[in-house]
Amino acid sequence: MGYSASGTAASEVGPARQQQPPGTVRLADMLTLSCHISQTGQATVTFAGELDAASADQACEYVRDAIDAHPGQVLLDMAGLSFCDARGLGALVRMSRHAGQAGSSLHLVAPPPRLMKIIRLTGLQDTLPVHCEDQAGHAQVA
C-alpha cells in the first residue's frame, strides 16, 4: 500500500502496483519525504525532520515504493534529518535489505554526524554505505 501526498494510506489501483516514484509526503507531522528522479535516471529520496518510532514504518514503505518504481541505485539524502532513533535506524536497514532483494543499491548522502556515529557503533557501515563524489563528480562509496 502506498501513501497519498497528505501521508495517508492510499489503496492500490488494479492488480499491480503503480510504478511511479512517490510524491512528497509528510509523516507523523515530523518527517517530510520527497523523491526526485534526475535526468540521468537516478532516484534520490530526501529526508527532512525526524525518523523515529512515529514515522519509521511509513518512511520504510515510502522508500520501498521508490525502489520498486526505480531499479538501480537509490540515494537517501539525509542532510535534513534532525533525529533518528533505534526504530529509524532499523527502518534504514530494512530499506537497504529491500533494495538488495530488488537488485538495487541504497546509499546515504550527507548523513548527520550523530547518525554516522550510530552507524559506526552498530557496525552497519556495509549495510548503510555513504555515497560521496570526488572532485570530478564521480560517485564513490565511503
Q: What percentage of residues in the chain have a pLDDT greater than 70?
A: 78
Q: Residue 24: pLDDT above 50?
A: yes
Residue 10 has what pLDDT? 41
Q: What average pLDDT does range 113-140 have in this prediction?
A: 81
**Strand 43-51 to 31-37 pairing:** antiparallel
Q: Which residues, including other chains, have CB under 8 Å from residue 106's CB and lie 6 or more apart?
A: 63, 67, 73, 74, 75, 76, 95, 96, 99, 100, 128
**21 Cα distance to chain centroid:** 12
Question: E strand or H helix at 13, and its extent?
Answer: none
| Model pTM score | 0.80
The band of 14, judged by pLDDT with boundaries at 50, 70 and 90, is very low
Cα–Cα distance measured from residue 88 to residue 80, given in angstroms and rounded to the nearest whole number: 14
**79 Cα distance to chain centroid:** 12
Q: Which residues, including other chains, have CB under 8 Å from residue 104's CB and lie 6 or more apart?
A: 67, 70, 71, 72, 73, 74
Contact 59, 92 (CB under 8 A): no
